[in-house]
Structure 1
Amino acid sequence: MRFVPPRIVQRRVDIDFAHVPPGPWFPDGGPLEILFNAASIAFPPTERFFIGAVRDCLGQVSDPKLREEVAGFIHQEAMHNKVHAHCNAMLARHYPNCRRTEQISIVTFRLLGRLPRWFRLSLSSALEHFTSMVADTLLRYPDEFRQVVPPEIADMWLWHAAEETEHKSVCIDVYRAVLGNGPLSYLNRVVGMLLATPLFLFVMILLGAIVLGWRRPRGAAPAAAEEPAQRQEATEEPSGSSRFLGRGMLGILWEGVPWRVYFSYYRPSFHPWDHDNRDLIAGWKERYPDFGEAGAA
């Protein structure tokens, strides 16, 4: 049977973050919350970088099916940009230095935007592989994730993870349509990943370290004021997510990223759907069948 990738749905999502309380949200999981917040801060300029890299090469794509998928990809990335910008405005209300931190990501991707388009497409393909790997992990623990973050935050990240999985092959499909499968194309793709790997860690670790240096969020209660019942429940009823909570940043990245999938990227024949996780998207759609669909294009 011919493999059929999931449809890239053009959802319209609007999440109200006005009533999200200041952190900490994760019980005993400060570094994990820091990494999620750092990722949210980094995403708007990252998403714009992806859109520009793919759009600049679209003129060389003749396959109508792929062009349709590119349109869905651009829509989804633009929507991620919008929703994360709203989330970051909420974070800025709680964390005084948030906007300064955001500038690191903006300047980084502004500089990367000056690279040749063939290398920007390589870098985008590699970074999309990272985001799809993290999405894969998150979609495996939807209930546990909802237990430890505000509902608005859970809605945003689980929706984002589902869409990252839906469109995870678009960048590399465009890459191959434009640059082919020859030795130089492969070399360019590998070099892109070799740069994307420290860049991903730069965003997740350096921005996270800056977040760690922020003052306690405005209005946040001291950690000692945490409800004893909540702490006891977290201790007595460990869940699948408990292997991440309480770990340091490097430990979270080591546990949370499927590195076997990461190294598969270096195979000349690699394709994102070699790792078939369509069931995770189907599971998310079953749980949230109408999420963003009312305003979908």
Structure 2
Amino acid sequence: MAAASKKKKIGVNLIIHIVLLILAVICLAPIALVFINSFKENAEIVANPLSIPVVLHLENYISAWETGNFSVGFINSIKLTGCTVIIILITASLAGYVLSGKRIKGSGAVLMYFMMAMTVPIQLFLFPLYYVYANLNLIGNIPATSVILAALYMPLSVFLMRTYFLNVPRELEESARIDGAGTRQVIWHIMRPVVSPGLITVAILVGLQSWNEYLISSTFLQGAKNFTATLGFLAMNGSYGSDMGIMMAAAFTLIGPIIVFFLCTQRYFVDGMVSGAVKG
């Protein structure tokens, strides 16, 4: 009986690993093709995109870096992503703390508002936002654009942070209050260390979304000097869309930092998602 149960368990684990392996291949195959083809000339890609390059054409990356203006684009992307993450972490953590314990009247209505805000497409607000930003001379202003992105990602971030605050034992805050700690001290010295996995998770999610964002940045960051790396890559389609080698090099230049960043932070991301999945 025990042997049959052990064989069944091994069979189930084998099937699970096979499925995971297939999913991994499906996810990694496009990235591998982009990487391989980034070292080939356009004629080689057209002839056989699955072949291994005989000669590594590193000049594709040089041309992609120069024509995509990535030296400026990466700096602008870092500014936009950094400003958005900072705004989100400050506001979403404070909102999550307040909404986690029904510390204000009408917290249910506020949660309902955030839930409804998640269903409203940002396209509805593009024209009025553009009109206001144009009148305030904020078109091309990266910090001002990050405010729009922060508002876009705010509902989900608030719900996530509220979940992490719900997992904090109430006794921790009560004991701190008894010892004379104020609200600021409770949030910074008691709550912040406990919900730090949630802060990291939210920062990673918002950071990746901000880095890849196109609609808002293309609308409000006009002018080549304000282009992010994503906009610089898309601007290459007009002149170099027919040269797939350079486009592949530009694509991998764009996604390479994201892959490295996620590989370095995946452990914190997974731990944060697991620790925040207990209560809702």
Report the TM-score when normalising by structure 2.
0.25
Report the TM-score when normalising by structure 1.
0.24
The structure having more radius of gyration, on CA atoms, is 2
